[in-house]
Amino acid sequence: MAFGGTVSAHPLDGAVVAVVGASGALGSLVARGAAARGAGLVLVGRDEARLRAVVEGADVVVGDLGDATLGERVVEVARGRHGRLDGVVNAAGVVAFGPLADTDDAVVEELFLTNVVGPLFLARRVLPALQESGGFLVNLSAVVAEHPMAGMAAYSASKAALTAADRALARELRRSGVDVIDVRPPHTETGLADRPIAGRAPAMPTGADPARVATIIGEAIVGDCADLPSEAFVR
């Protein structure tokens, strides 16, 4: 069941899709999967060399998700090179571990800037282009939006906030033709837990295969699914 009601399938053959966080383990797989389905790509991230290595010939936008103007540049490149923008996948994010009482204010701020505020900045600026094309917006939240974890209070709260924003956006955009897909995968072997901005990851069982997670996200885009809870990845 979609947050905003009935949704449309979004074929990727010939579509123009921006992937934010495209140099990351999951973002790169989503980007390659979209390219394999025939999409033209705008790859977005902070490292130009790594972005250019993801999909040969793809357009690249170098920038940080916390920059409020990033979405404007994404739309400018997509329209300038392809004439339109059909979809945006936000696969960027940061994680931190440890009790909230021991977490610096700057860490809490960075979690919310990257995981919540940045995606909202991005959405505000890409939505007009997506409304023109009847496109889609995908945000990668996390299982902790459903099941908050001790030792990850600020991170859990940031992901829950992103999911709440997606739910509201889906309803706001119901009549505009733009579909919002909220993705809440379980712990996935992307290496993100090994690169926290603070703290140290607790012992965790082996996570989901990122290639499989990326495949399920791609299937949701081309299908008619606008909600991917954690159980959608357990088959």
Q: What is the pLDDT of residue 8?
A: 79
For residue 232, the 8-state DSSP code is: G
User: Residue 16 pairs with which residues in a beta bridge?
Assistant: 40
Residue 11 forms part of a structural domain: no
| Closest to 155 (Cα-Cα) out of 201, 123, 190, 124 | 201
Residue 55 forms part of a structural domain: yes
Q: What's the number of domains the chain is made of?
A: 1
Domain with 162 in it: 16-230
CATH of the domain at 70: 3.40.50.720
Is 60 exceeded by the pLDDT of residue 4?
no
Q: What is the mean pLDDT of residues 202-231?
A: 93
**119-149 per-position pLDDT tens digit:** 999 999 999 999 999 999 999 999 999 999 9
Grade residue 235 by pLDDT with cuts at 50, 70 and 90. Answer: low
| Closest to 96 (Cα-Cα) out of 85, 110, 86, 82 | 110
% the chain with pLDDT above 90: 91
Q: What is the pLDDT of residue 224?
A: 79
Q: What is the pLDDT of residue 87?
A: 98
Is 80 exceeded by the pLDDT of residue 117?
yes
Average pLDDT over all residues of the chain? 95
Rounded to two decimals, the pTM is 0.95
Q: What is the pLDDT of residue 5?
A: 44
Q: Please say whether the beta carbons of 143 and 205 come within 8 A.
A: no
Residue 5 forms part of a structural domain: no
Residue 1 forms part of a structural domain: no
Residue 209 forms part of a structural domain: yes
Taking the CB of residue 28, how many other CB atoms lie within 10 A of it? Answer: 24
**179-202 per-position pLDDT tens digit:** 999 999 999 999 999 999 999 999
Residue 193 forms part of a structural domain: yes
Residue 215 forms part of a structural domain: yes
Residue 95 forms part of a structural domain: yes
| Closest to 137 (Cα-Cα) out of 173, 96, 110 | 173
Which sequence positions are flagged as catalytic?
Answer: 155
Q: Cα 212 to chain center, whole Å? A: 16
